[in-house]
Amino acid sequence: MTVPAFGLGTFRLKDQAVIDSVRNALDVGYRAIDTAQIYGNEAEVGRAIAESGVPRDDIHLTTKIWISEFKRDALLASLQGSLKKLRTDRVELTLIHWPSPDDAVPMEEYLPALAEAKAQGLTREIGISNFTIAQTRRAIGILGAAEIATNQVEIHPYLQNRLLVPFLQEQGIHVTAYMSLAYGEVIKDPVIQAIAGRHQATPAQVALAWALQQGLAVIPSSTRRENLASNLEAARLHLTDEDLAQIATLDRGHRLANPDGIAPAWD
């Protein structure tokens, strides 16, 4: 198994909006869908997949375990609950959504529980999300780097994570970037817009291509069919060294996902 380079994110999408987004995404060619327990939309995602006509085996489905479910038995039961909502007997990838705040549940408890979920066939691969370098080192010590399919973290031109990304790549851990468009902020950037103009591309395509050319996976979300199709075209866009150098200057440590009481001490 490998983490697909391009998928659909479903954060903040609810009810009919997420059903339509998943249906449209699958219809225009997406084959990877990312959800999470805390998103409150697993049932709708499962319904959209089931009604899409796309064979389940053709879809790479990711969900994430919320911090309230980290005790061993709770983790396994919660993932089984997620599978029921998603109308499937297994997902391709299950992530720990955030490290346990203040180590309330030790990593030495919830990561082996996640590995047990894999051993039971509830998930084909396992991984982490929002883990710092130190936390990833600890996870490697528990699971081994080869068992960690990805670390899913916020990455966009305004937050380039220049310490974490090289570390993960050196360890052979795939990097999945979320919030690749920074809630639309980066597509308004003059530098991004100028690069888009040179390539006859959209600013969103430029931001996504920037991540893809670094070997990152991306999971942008959209409720509009035309944007879903347009974003997918980013995989065909090749940015020049000059383009990449200009985007490198945009890094300003602008972090959007930083929930109080949950977020770790970032690198």
pLDDT tens, 13-59?
Answer: 999 999 999 999 999 999 999 999 999 999 999 999 999 999 999 99
Answer yes or no: is 254 a known binding residue.
no
Q: Which of 30, 39, 110, 178 is catalytic?
A: 39
Q: Would residue 86 count as lying in a domain?
A: yes
Q: Would residue 228 count as lying in a domain?
A: no
Residue 104 has pLDDT above 70, yes or no: yes
For residue 178, give both structure tokens: 């979320």
Q: Would residue 115 count as lying in a domain?
A: yes
Give residue 52's identity as a one-letter amino acid code.
S
Q: Would residue 164 count as lying in a domain?
A: yes
DSSP 89: S
Could you read off the pLDDT of 184-216 as tens digits, one per residue? Answer: 999 999 999 999 999 999 999 999 999 999 999
Q: Would residue 124 count as lying in a domain?
A: yes
Q: Would residue 241 count as lying in a domain?
A: no
The range of the structural domain enclosing residue 115 comes to 8-182+215-220
- Write the CATH number for 54: 3.20.20.100
Q: Would residue 128 count as lying in a domain?
A: yes
The whole-model pTM stands at 0.97
Domains: count for the chain:
1
CB atoms within 10 A of CB 213: 15
Residue 110 is among the residues annotated as catalytic for this protein: no
Q: Would residue 227 count as lying in a domain?
A: no
Query: 5 and 29 in contact (C-beta within 8 Å)?
Result: no
